[in-house]
C-alpha cells in the first residue's frame, strides 16, 4: 500500500485484460485470427487462454465473474477492469480493518487518507514520509506503522505470550500494553515523555499553526497528520522520535511474567 504497488495477481490480471482490449481493437490479421480461434475453443468448453483468464478472475480475493461463453466486447472488458479495481479496493479494506499488525496504521494514517471512504488511489500511493525522508528514516516510520518493532506487543507474539500479558516495560502497569500507540503517544514514563515532548516541540516550533491542529485532534490522528505533512521536516522529526523510542527499548528488557500471580501483582494503571 505504502509504495503504490498493486499485488502481483491483480497486476497480472489487469495486464491480461488490457491485452484483451488490444485484441478487440486491432485490425492485425494474425492476432485477430488467433483470438477468434481461442474464443471458439472457450465457447466449446475447452481449456484455453480465455478460460484461464476466467479462472484467474474467479481466484481473486474478491472474485470477479467472466462468462467465457459470451464473446467479449470493449465495453465489457472496461467493466471488468473497473470490477478488478473494486475487487482490489475491497480486498485492501478487509486487510486494513482486520489485521492486528496494521492497528497503528489504521489509527494514524488511515483516517488522514479518507478512512472507510478512501478510494483505491488514496490507499495505494507513495506518501510524503517516503518522499520527504531518508531511507533510514522511512524504515523507522514503516516499522512502526506495520508493527515490525522491538515492542512487547510484537516480539512476545512469537513466544505465544497472551496479548494481555505484553505489558509496557517502562510504566509496568497491568492495563498498559506495550503497543506502538502506548510507547509513542501515551506512556507516562519520564523517558518516553521526554522523547515525545522534544518531538512535539520541534514540530510546533517549525510550524506554530500546528498547535491548533494538535489541540483539535487525538494523539493518533495528529501523529498521522504529521507523517503526511509536507511542511518543514515533519516526517524526519517523527522518524527521529521513533528512533529515540527504539533506542530506549534497547536499554530496558522486555517485561515477562513467570506466573499469573506476578502479572496480577502489577498495579492496574
Considering only the stretches 9-17, 41-49, 152-160, 180-188, report the one whose residues sit in contact with Zn ion under the rule CB under 5 A: 180-188
Q: How far is the CB of 172 from Zn ion (least distance, A)?
A: 8
The rounded radius of gyration (Å) of the Cα atoms in the chain is: 25
Is residue 184 near Zn ion by the rule CB under 5 A? no
Q: How many Cα atoms sit within 13 Å of 245 on the Cβ side?
A: 34
Site string for Zn ion, 187-206 (x = CB under 5 A): x-------------------
Query: In this chain, which of 168, 195, 235, 244 binds Zn ion, going by CB under 5 A?
Result: 168
Is residue 152 near Zn ion by the rule CB under 5 A? no
DSSP string, 42-54: HHTT---HHHHHH
Is residue 177 near Zn ion by the rule CB under 5 A? no
Q: How far is the CB of 184 from Zn ion (least distance, A)?
A: 10
Number of residues that this document lists for the chain: 269
Query: In this chain, which of 171, 177, 181, 234 binds Zn ion, going by CB under 5 A?
Result: 171
Is the Cβ of residue 64 or residue 168 nearer to Zn ion in the bound state? Answer: 168
**Which residues make up the interface to Zn ion (CB under 5 A)?**
168, 170-171, 176, 187
Amino acid at each position: 500500500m505504502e509504495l503504490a504497488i498493486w499485488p502481483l495477481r491483480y497486476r497480472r490480471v489487469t495486464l491480461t485484460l488490457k491485452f484483451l482490449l488490444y485484441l478487440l481493437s486491432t485490425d492485425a490479421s494474425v492476432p485477430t485470427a488467433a483470438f477468434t480461434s481461442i474464443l471458439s475453443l472457450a465457447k466449446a468448453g475447452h481449456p484455453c487462454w480465455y478460460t484461464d483468464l476466467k479462472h484467474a478472475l474467479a481466484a481473486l480475493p474478491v472474485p470477479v465473474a467472466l462468462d467465457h461463453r459470451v464473446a467479449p466486447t470493449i465495453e465489457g472488458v472496461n467493466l471488468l477492469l473497473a470490477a478488478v479495481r473494486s475487487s482490489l479496493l475491497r480486498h485492501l479494506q478487509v486487510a486494513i480493518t482486520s489485521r492486528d499488525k496494521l492497528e497503528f496504521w489504521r489509527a494514524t494514517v488511515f483516517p488522514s487518507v479518507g478512512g472507510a471512504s478512501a478510494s483505491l488511489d488514496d490507499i495505494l500511493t507513495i506518501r510524503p514520509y517516503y518522499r520527504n525522508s531518508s531511507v533510514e528514516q522511512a524504515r523507522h516510520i514503516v516499522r512502526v506503522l506495520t508493527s515490525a518493532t522491538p515492542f512487547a506487543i510484537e516480539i512476545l507474539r512469537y513466544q505465544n505470550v497472551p496479548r494481555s500479558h505484553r505489558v509496557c516495560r517502562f510504566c509496568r502497569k497491568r492495563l498498559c500494553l506495550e503497543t506502538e500507540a502506548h510507547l509513542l503517544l501515551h506512556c507516562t514514563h519520564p523517558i518516553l515523555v521526554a522523547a515525545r515532548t522534544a518531538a512535539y516541540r520541534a514540530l510546533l516550533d517549525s510550524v506554530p499553526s500546528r498547535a491548533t491542529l494538535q489541540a483539535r485532534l487525538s494523539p493518533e490522528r495528529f501523529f498521522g497528520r504529521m507523517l503526511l505533512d509536507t511542511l518543514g521536516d515533519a516526517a524526519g522529526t517523527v522518524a527521529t522520535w521513533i528512533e529515540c523510542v527504539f533506542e530506549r527499548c534497547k536499554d530496558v528488557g522486555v517485561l515477562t511474567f513467570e506466573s499469573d500471580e506476578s502479572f496480577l501483582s502489577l498495579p492496574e494503571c
